Amino acid sequence: MSVEQKVAQLIMPDISTITPEDVAKYRFGTILNGGNSGPYGNERSKPEDWLKLADAFWEASRTPHADGSPVIPVLWATDAVHGHSNVVGATLFPHNIGLGATRDPALIREIGRITAAEIKVTGIDWTFAPTLAVVRDDRWGRTYEGYAEDKGLVSELGAAMVEGLQGTGPDFLSQEHVIATAKHFFGDGGTAGIDTGDTVGNEADLVELHAYPYRAALKSGAQTVMASFSSINGQKMHGNKSYLTELLKNEMAFDGLVVGDWNGHGRIPGCTNKDCPESINAGLDIFMVPEDWKELLTNTKAAVDSGKISQERLDDAVRRILRVKIRYGLFDLPAPSARKLGGNYALLGSPEHRAVARKAVQESLVLLKNDGVLPINPSKTILVAGEGADSIAKQSGGWTISWQGGGDLTNADFPGAESIFAGIAKQAEAAGGKAILSVDGSYAQKPDVAIVVFGEKPYAEFMGDIKNLSYGDAKPLALLKKFQAQQIPVVAVFLTGRPLWVNKELNASNAFVAAWLPGSEGGGVADVLLKTKDGQVQKDFKGKLSFSWPQACDAYALNPGEANYKPLFGYGYGMAYGEHAAWTKVDEKCALSQPNAENDVAVFAKGQAIAPFTMTAADGKGQRVTLAGAKGKSADGAVEVVAMDRNAQEDARTIRWKAGGSFGFEASTALNPAALAEGRAVRIDFQIGTRPTGPVKLSMNCGANCRDEIDITASLALAEQKGWMTAILPLSCFKKGTPIGMPLSIQSSGSFEMSISSVTLVDDGGETACRF
């Protein structure tokens, strides 16, 4: 192999930025589809499109070289973290936090086998799973990706998932299985609740705690390990030779490959996404470089030519990649569509697979409180309320069809799946009863019992980091109290990616069930909550907490064996039918959860509009479209909005005006007047890609017949290609009345490109000038 061919094996671009022709030309060793990257630019692509593209990439990588040098097929990797979760119609299992509550390694092994089979249907070879994080602070946005706060349980279940995905014995890496990834090595769960943060402590203790599950995963045959975004005592893991090489490869005798995370190499001091020999020298074997692959390819070859990367290190990385490909049998396989399971679409979401997912839901539910209302007689009239009652997207959480999940996904995007309400309604009808869906809890006839399904909105990674554990949505609590006051027995079903402080909700309910993020089979919840037609228990509660449940909203790091371990429900807690625990009202005070009007008010952060704000685009006629996903556009296509990376994956948005139209943020409810008081301002972090070809105005609506605007055309022109900047505009520049909803809008009559990473209401700091 030439140096160019070897270096190409180290490059993993995203399918959203390459074509099969690029693969034929550059011969990348691996490719991936990120959480928002579907075939042909469509994250809702049909399974047939996934397989078609897999064939195209495969054939491109098999094109003979003109010089007769060896042809090395490409490997395609995906984030199938709770089933083949990017693909419409696939079986969606509970997220790992729910699987941890089952404590059932045989079940997890079977889930891995099914996930592998469904991945193979679409022609993909490799999944970035399982996550082996030992989560020690539940504020972390990836808590639900962890099985437990206990290293032993993480180790046991993680190894089982590796065995299910890859197979064991004669079945190891057969055509029914895929390559697994043990991630994120290591310490990702110890960053004090900050995604990609720093895990600090005695290094021997950190290795014993956070690296512990990797030993079992490697013993079970894990072929790849993903380096963590995070740091150990200030040193980024993507550049940590003492751990990637000396610990993992030498001491732990790992002979597979180490893959980076999304541009993780670019976070090393002195590196960029386009150039980082330090990461390869530290022990990384594959760069995950979604967009800047061409420059990284050129710069990495130059680093080899100059000696910054030794030939020995390059050859070691390539050998590791080839070793995994050979073990997988890649050189002997036909095109993806001609493989054993390729194109067998009946396997996607098959009844047999869904039955296993339903069993996982049943076993994952944890009963925290029950005064006797459960199990429910299905022949009664059951009112099912709450925003999660009939939302498959909400019950499935992040990493579902898109990276963040939720957004504009509807039940129609989940063919064959069942919401929690649908599962309850089906069983009630069969028993002669009736289930009524009423999201807001209203009813014409008083029901016999109410079930309120509520919880966290879907999120992934840093988007889910929180400052404290208080569950802040007041609407579900109001529903629970309403039913309680009307003497209607009420069951709380909590959809969540972590334990949260819900003392008020616990006090206001007759029974409380931690349902985690159950996935596509909502009927599994009904199986446990409802009796059979003849009054018997269908399925008992089996779930036990794999994360301690807080009694205080500031109990962030709540782990057995640590100081001040005072949970409301301890690690391993979980009631069953027939068990009775007298309920004593718990303390409802949490100073941290009280709103402070003087704090900054986030309008847009981490790539998302922050409630009560929504992101919108409008055409020249003023027709508005609400934007929720990674990309969107106005009704006429004149304004396009796409996700981009500033400091983290998709944490900003690029807005492209092709013609007249507007982009902005609107509040769905009135804001606290203190947030818009005298001395307040709006701060916008932005950059300008191309200058405006026509007038651009920034405006703010402050109620009926109240609007003002500022011409920002000249300022934007001066900012072209100058990088990221910050503008602070006092609200007094706009105020012609009392601000109510504060829609903030940027209108352009011509074309230009602007990126925004944050919009915040702040104190004006004495700024009085009305200029951008």
- Residue 673 buriedness (CB in 10 A; 0-12 / 13-18 / 19+): exposed
- Residue 645 buriedness (CB in 10 A; 0-12 / 13-18 / 19+): middle
Marked catalytic residue, from 55, 195, 461, 666: 461
- 372 near 575, Cβ under 8 Å? no
Cβ density class 537-565: b for 16+ within 10 Å, e for less:
ebbbbbbbbbbbbbbbbebbbbbeeeeee
Q: What is the C-alpha to C-alpha distance for residues 342 and 363, in angstroms, rounded to an integer?
A: 31
DSSP conformation class of 250: I
Marked catalytic residue, from 79, 104, 145, 261: 261
Q: What is the C-alpha to C-alpha distance for residues 681 and 677, in angstroms, rounded to an integer?
A: 9
Report the sign of the C-alpha dihedral through residues 327, 155, 316, 286, in that order.
Answer: positive
- Strands ordered across the beta sheet of 257-259: 181-185, 224-227, 257-259
Q: Which residue has the tokens 């079970």?
A: 220
- 85 near 127, Cβ under 8 Å? no
Cβ density class 651-669: b for 16+ within 10 Å, e for less:
bbbbbbbbbbbbbbbbbee
Q: What is the C-alpha to C-alpha distance for residues 95 and 456, in angstroms, rounded to an integer?
A: 14
Q: Which residue has the tokens 């409180």?
A: 369
Q: State how far Cα 413 lies from the chain centre.
A: 17
DSSP string, 268-323: STT-BTTB-HHHHHHT--BEE-SS-HHHHHHHHHHHHHHTSS-HHHHHHHHHHHHH
Q: What is the C-alpha to C-alpha distance for residues 748 and 690, in angstroms, rounded to an integer?
A: 13
Kindly compute the dihedral angle of the four CA atoms of residues 669, 672, 678, 680, in this order, to the nearest 10 degrees.
-80
Scanning 450-552, the segments in alpha helix (DSSP H) are 474-485, 503-507, 523-529
Measured in Å, how far apart are the chain's first and last C-alpha atoms?
55
- 686 near 727, Cβ under 8 Å? yes
Structure tokens at 552: 């205080």
- 159 near 217, Cβ under 8 Å? yes
- 607 near 462, Cβ under 8 Å? no
In Å, what is the CA distance from 237 to each residue of 142, 184, 185, 242, 253?
18, 9, 8, 9, 18
Phi-psi region of 466 (alpha: psi -120 to 50; beta: other; left: phi over 0): beta
3-state class of 208 per DSSP?
A: helix
Structure tokens at 771: 């200029």
How many helices (H) and strands (E) would you count in the chain? Answer: 19, 33
- Angle at CA of residue 474, ends 420 and 363, nearest 5°: 30
- 38 near 19, Cβ under 8 Å? no
261 is catalytic: yes
Residue type, 222: A
- Residue 582 buriedness (CB in 10 A; 0-12 / 13-18 / 19+): exposed
Q: What is the C-alpha to C-alpha distance for residues 403 and 517, in angstroms, rounded to an integer?
A: 15
Just list the catalytic residues: 261, 461
